[in-house]
């Protein structure tokens, strides 16, 4: 009898799920962005949300909830219902957090289901103009950091972000030491970087490119394997004297574990279609970003490979959470 009841329950659940997927959405949808407004994640989450709002018939709201390198928002969103109205717009930073934070209140692979990557963006090594005479190029910065360990500081969007680990990898490869100053997102970091409160950052192209073009920041190198069309005259870190160095930031959308598959498939379709519009293509190009659009299965493989990659960087660099 128990088996009969269990089977009947499964059938009723499947029928209910199918019905809810057919009528979805009937109310506003939330993309939780686990970083403060104004950062790189916002750069891509908000245009996607705006376009999907138009095509799906319900408003898609981007809710910012920063803290601890994006882990606070991630921990909070998993407490919500996996009903297709709660989504997580996170980043590569969350694959780093898996090995950097010892007491996460969630598991990226256990509690979330990848939908698609929104954008791949290189970081760019930027310094405040007050250092213009001192650092003509990246090698000048390396030489100074070697001769003056601890005299330079660098800001990040938080412990465990690529802003943080890209510098830790750089320090390991160049045998330098610079002091880490973590912020609660790329937006607050940028404010202090522009004010000269921090010396440099390996910032995302999405938040730095406008400031570079305005002459408010000086770019020394990009962290990608090739030069970026937004900054064609800026060399890569490899070209500038650190062979083998490459880091890229990416942003993506996850569903909560248990979200009905038909709803996940619909959201994937909507997001990929949004990124294929002229308006969003223009925004991505202006940020020096490569569009994502990979399948759910492909993003699942990417997440696994990035967790393995960054675990090694954390171990080799001896990186610690210091926020």
pLDDT for position 155: 96
Statement: residue 70 has pLDDT above 70: yes
- What's the whole-number mean pLDDT along residues 80-105? 95
Beta strands of 35-178 (E only): which ranges? 60-64, 86-91, 112-127, 153-156
Of how many residues is the chain composed? 323
Distance of alpha carbon 21 from alpha carbon 161, whole angstroms: 35
Q: Per residue in 263-318, pLDDT tens?
A: 999 999 999 999 999 999 999 998 889 889 999 999 999 999 999 999 998 998 88
Distance of alpha carbon 300 from alpha carbon 295, whole angstroms: 9
Statement: residue 15 has pLDDT above 50: no
Q: Are the beta carbons of 267 and 91 closer than 8 angstroms? A: no
Statement: residue 92 has pLDDT above 80: yes
Q: DSSP characters for 10-77?
A: HHHHHHHHHHHHHH--SS-EEEEESS-TTSHHHHHHHHHHHHHHHHHSS-EEEEE---GGGHHHHHHH
Torsion sign (Cα): 265, 267, 269, 272 = negative
Give the residue among 98, 38, 18, 10 at the shortest CA–CA distance from 265: 18
Q: Per residue in 27-36, pLDDT tens?
A: 999 999 999 8
Q: Per residue in 157-184, pLDDT tens?
A: 888 788 899 999 999 999 999 999 999 8
Q: What is the mean pLDDT of the chain?
A: 91
Position 83 confidence tier, pLDDT thresholds 50, 70, 90: very high
Quick one: DSSP state of residue 236?
Answer: B
Q: Which secondary structure element, helix H or strand E, spans residue 201, and what is its range?
A: strand 200-204
pLDDT for position 205: 84
């Amino acid at each position: 009898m128990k088996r009969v009841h269990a089977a009947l329950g499964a059938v009723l659940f499947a029928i209910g799920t199918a019905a809810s997927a057919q009528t979805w959405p009937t109310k506003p949808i939330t993309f939780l962005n686990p970083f403060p407004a104004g950062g790189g994640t916002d750069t891509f989450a908000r245009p996607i949300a705006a376009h999907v709002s138009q095509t799906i018939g319900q408003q898609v709201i981007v809710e910012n909830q920063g803290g601890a390198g994006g882990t606070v928002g991630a921990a909070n969103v998993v407490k919500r219902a996996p009903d297709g109205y709660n989504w997580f717009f996170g980043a590569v930073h969350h694959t780093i957090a898996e090995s950097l934070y010892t007491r996460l209140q969630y598991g990226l692979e256990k509690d979330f289901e990848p939908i698609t990557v929104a954008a791949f963006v290189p970081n760019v090594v930027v310094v405040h103009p007050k250092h213009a005479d001192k650092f003509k190029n990246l090698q000048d910065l390396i030489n100074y950091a070697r001769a003056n360990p601890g005299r330079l500081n660098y800001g990040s969007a938080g412990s465990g972000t690529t802003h943080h680990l890209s510098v830790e990898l750089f320090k390991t490869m160049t045998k330098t030491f610079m002091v880490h100053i973590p912020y609660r997102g790329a937006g607050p970091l940028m404010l202090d970087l522009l004010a000269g409160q921090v010396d440099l950052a390996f910032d995302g192209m999405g938040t730095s490119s406008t400031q570079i073009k305005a002459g408010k920041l000086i770019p020394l190198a990009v962290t990608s394997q090739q030069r970026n069309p937004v900054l064609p005259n800026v060399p890569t870190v490899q070209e500038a004297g650190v062979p083998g160095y490459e880091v890229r930031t990416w942003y993506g959308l996850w569903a909560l574990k248990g979200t009905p598959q038909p709803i996940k498939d619909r959201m994937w379709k909507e997001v990929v279609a949004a990124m294929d519009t002229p308006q969003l293509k223009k925004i991505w190009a202006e940020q020096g970003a490569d569009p994502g659009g990979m399948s759910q299965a492909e993003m699942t493989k990417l997440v696994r490979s990035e967790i393995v990659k960054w675990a090694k960087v954390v171990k080799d660099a001896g990186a610690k959470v210091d926020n």
